[in-house]
């Protein structure tokens, strides 16, 4: 998408280097930024948003690769704003990136958002002024603003990860990261390599296998894909369901992951094999994440139960992926990691595409990349380099923290967040950080983020943040002189981290390293960054701690 001149989109006029004063500054104009902007404006506050892209969308502004599609199903992947959802219909159960950008445009026009946003304004500095008790934010173009409150809505999967492959700079073909894909690119008849086998790779392979002359996927571990169950919706069908939206959204908010499903209370071992297999077939056939969400209660707690689920999954995949060599790689006899401890992508015809003769799979554990050559890739153990016209890096993102540690965000003592977190992530409630007064994060580490429907968890956090901001002017704060300043204590951060780690130790998650733990980034400390108790438990914990501001220092401004 071509850049739009800032003067036509940001609502800023005149000298943008002179700091403008707001009540709240929000960084990021995806779902999280939009949600906070809408809520805070309704609360009567003056808000301004800085966005690096030239339009709304966040992850859906940047991700335009073939097959890019959300895996949260309609109607739950949207904001719970009646004026917006009453006049909008998605066309399918799982909308693609193009439709999601149209939805963002609908939010913009319905809620009149654009007037309070500076686009093409990547933030490169955010500092706390101790004398004024406020934040000053500066964008790369020089625009500067100050506000008492700062909300970092910079996203979970934003900072692209480029591995340092030997010889990469000497490669003469075309190379693209999945997070920065030219929409008009065609690989018809070309030799294509895709590095990675995670959720993004699954979506790309499904599309490019139909077009490329030769497609080679290079992977270390297979994904455990689940059937998407995609289908089209009619406008009449969606309109008829809208009367139920308030109840559906409420039930999603009060659930563990944002979808109003119920996990059976039985253990895998409590059910006779024939009955268990019948139930597996039922939830498998429901599509989406039903096979995970409605499975038996001990699947993520018990290795024996987890193996039973994996063996069922393996049989279902091998019914479709019939090439014996590819079966051994993609659905091996022994699970390479516990089922559900790494993201399970949704797919439509992924395994049928892998079956195609023009698609090959390389196990990088056996034949790692030795070096890039001018014409392709040399694999260890192979005599000849493989020629490729295109190389696609489906190598993921510096998840959770990458968008924060590269924006010049400094604490009240001038220490950059990347140095504050050099030995590991520390937060309180996954929303605030000691040393960063009046600053919040949304869709963040140490919250249920990775295991939740995005709009549901970010709305829970948005409501908490906005209630905190508005309550500082309420009855309980009137004894303080001036506008209060609030930040968590070091002790509360330690207690929060200890609690989420203790919860995690009872599960099978610690046995698997992935982007959920930051283990995909060389040099980054791999650690638990997820509150595994679910959205409902998380929100109750957060709200309970608001009583008397337990865990915070609250001082006069």
Q: Other C-beta atoms within 10 Å of 526: how many?
A: 14
Q: Determine the pLDDT at residue 513.
A: 86
Tell me if residue 327 falls in helix, strand or coil.
helix
Q: Determine the pLDDT at residue 556.
A: 67
Q: Determine the pLDDT at residue 549.
A: 92
pLDDT over 60 at 479, yes or no: no
Length of the chain: 557
Q: Determine the pLDDT at residue 219.
A: 97
DSSP assignment string, 463-527: HHHHHHHHHTTSGGGTTSSSS-EEEE-HHHHHHHHHHHHHHHTTSSGGG--STTTTTTSTTSPP-
Structural domains in the chain, CATH included, are 17-159+399-483+532-555 (3.50.50.60), 168-237+257-393 (no CATH)
The reported pTM is 0.93
Q: Determine the pLDDT at residue 521.
A: 67
Instruction: Report d(CA 267, CA 258) in Å as an integer.
Output: 23
Question: Where do we find the tokens 């939206």?
Answer: 245
Q: Determine the pLDDT at residue 9.
A: 35
Q: Determine the pLDDT at residue 10.
A: 42
Q: Determine the pLDDT at residue 526.
A: 82
Which of the 8 DSSP states describes residue 82? H
| CA angle, residues 217, 220, 225, in degrees to nearest 5 | 70
Q: Determine the pLDDT at residue 180.
A: 81
Tell me if residue 201 falls in helix, strand or coil.
helix
pLDDT over 70 at 141, yes or no: yes
First to last CA, the chain: 43
pLDDT over 50 at 206, yes or no: yes
User: Any bridge partners for residue 117, and if so which?
Assistant: 49
What pLDDT digit, counting tens, does each position of 32-68 carry? 999 999 999 999 999 999 999 999 999 999 999 999 9
Q: If you average pLDDT over every residue of the chain, what do you get?
A: 92
What pLDDT digit, counting tens, does each position of 269-291 carry? 999 999 999 999 999 999 999 99
Residue 402 or 476, more confident: 402
What pLDDT digit, counting tens, does each position of 540-556 carry? 999 999 999 999 998 86
321: pLDDT confidence band, cut at 50, 70 and 90?
very high
Least confident of 146-150, 369-373, 421-425: 421-425
Q: Determine the pLDDT at residue 204.
A: 96
Instruction: Report d(CA 450, CA 339) in Å as an integer.
Output: 16
Closest CA to 290 of 250, 255, 263, 323: 263
Q: Determine the pLDDT at residue 2.
A: 32
pLDDT over 70 at 200, yes or no: yes
121: pLDDT confidence band, cut at 50, 70 and 90?
very high
Q: Which two tokens stand for residue 353?
A: 């595409």
160: pLDDT confidence band, cut at 50, 70 and 90?
confident
Closest CA to 133 of 151, 147, 143: 147
What pLDDT digit, counting tens, does each position of 406-421 carry? 899 999 999 999 999 9
What pLDDT digit, counting tens, does each position of 64-100 carry? 999 999 999 999 999 999 999 999 999 999 999 999 9
Residue 311 or 12, more confident: 311
How much is the average pLDDT of 436-464?
A: 96
How much is the average pLDDT of 120-139?
A: 96
Q: What percent of the chain has pLDDT over 70?
A: 94
pLDDT over 70 at 5, yes or no: no
């Amino acid at each position: 998408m071509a850049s739009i001149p800032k003067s036509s989109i940001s609502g800023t006029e005149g000298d943008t280097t002179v700091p403008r004063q707001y009540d709240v500054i929000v960084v990021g104009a995806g779902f999280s930024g939009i949600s906070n902007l809408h809520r805070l404006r309704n609360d009567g506050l003056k808000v301004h948003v800085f966005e690096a892209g030239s339009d709304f969308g966040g992850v859906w502004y940047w991700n335009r690769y073939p097959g890019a599609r959300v895996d949260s199903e309609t109607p739950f992947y949207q904001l719970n704003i009646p004026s917006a959802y009453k006049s909008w219909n998605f066309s399918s159960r799982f909308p693609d990136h193009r439709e999601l950008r149209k939805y963002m445009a609908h939010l913009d026009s319905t809620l009149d958002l654009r007037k309070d946003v500076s686009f093409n304004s990547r933030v490169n500095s955010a500092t706390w002024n101790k004398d004024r008790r406020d934040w000053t934010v500066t964008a790369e173009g020089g625009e500067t603003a100050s506000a008492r409150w700062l909300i970092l809505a910079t996203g979970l999967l934003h900072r692209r990860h480029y591995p340092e492959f030997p010889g990469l700079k000497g490669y003469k073909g075309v190379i693209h990261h999945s997070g920065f894909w030219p929409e008009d690119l065609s690989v018809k008849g070309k030799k294509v390599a895709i590095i990675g086998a995670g959720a993004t790779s699954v979506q790309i392979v499904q599309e490019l296998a139909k077009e490329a002359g030769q497609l080679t996927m290079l992977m270390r571990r297979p994904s455990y894909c689940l059937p998407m169950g995609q289908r089209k919706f009619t406008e009449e069908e969606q309109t008829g369901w809208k009367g139920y939206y308030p109840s559906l959204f409420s039930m999603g908010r009060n659930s563990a992951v944002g979808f109003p499903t119920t996990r059976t209370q039985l253990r895998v071992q409590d059910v006779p094999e024939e009955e268990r297999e019948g139930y597996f077939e039922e939830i498998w056939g429901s599509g989406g994440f039903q096979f995970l969400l409605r499975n038996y209660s001990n699947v993520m707690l018990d290795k024996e139960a987890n193996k039973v689920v994996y063996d069922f999954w393996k049989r279902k995949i091998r019914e479709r992926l019939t090439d014996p060599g590819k079966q051994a790689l993609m659905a091996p006899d022994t699970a390479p990691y516990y089922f559900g401890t790494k993201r399970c992508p949704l797919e439509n015809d992924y395994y049928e595409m892998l079956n195609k003769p023009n698609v090959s799979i390389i196990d990088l554990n056996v034949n790692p990349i030795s070096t890039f050559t001018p014409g392709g890739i040399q694999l260890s153990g192979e005599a000849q380099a493989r020629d490729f016209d295109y190389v696609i890096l489906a190598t993921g993102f510096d998840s959770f923290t990458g968008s924060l540690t590269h924006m010049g965000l400094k604490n009240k003592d001038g220490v950059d967040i990347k140095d504050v977190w050099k030995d590991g992530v520390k937060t309180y409630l996954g929303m605030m950080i000691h040393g960063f007064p009046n600053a919040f994060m949304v869709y963040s580490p140490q919250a249920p983020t990775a295991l939740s429907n995005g709009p549901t968890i970010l709305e829970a956090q948005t409501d908490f943040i906005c209630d905190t901001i508005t309550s500082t002017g309420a009855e309980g704060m009137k004894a303080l002189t001036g506008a209060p300043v609030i930040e968590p204590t070091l002790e509360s951060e330690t207690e929060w981290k200890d609690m989420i780690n203790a919860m995690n130790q009872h599960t099978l998650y610690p046995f698997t390293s992935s982007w959920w733990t930051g283990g995909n980034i060389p040099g980054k400390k791999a650690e638990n960054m997820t509150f595994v108790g679910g959205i409902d438990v998380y929100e109750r914990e957060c709200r309970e701690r608001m009583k008397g501001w337990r865990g915070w220092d609250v001082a006069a401004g």
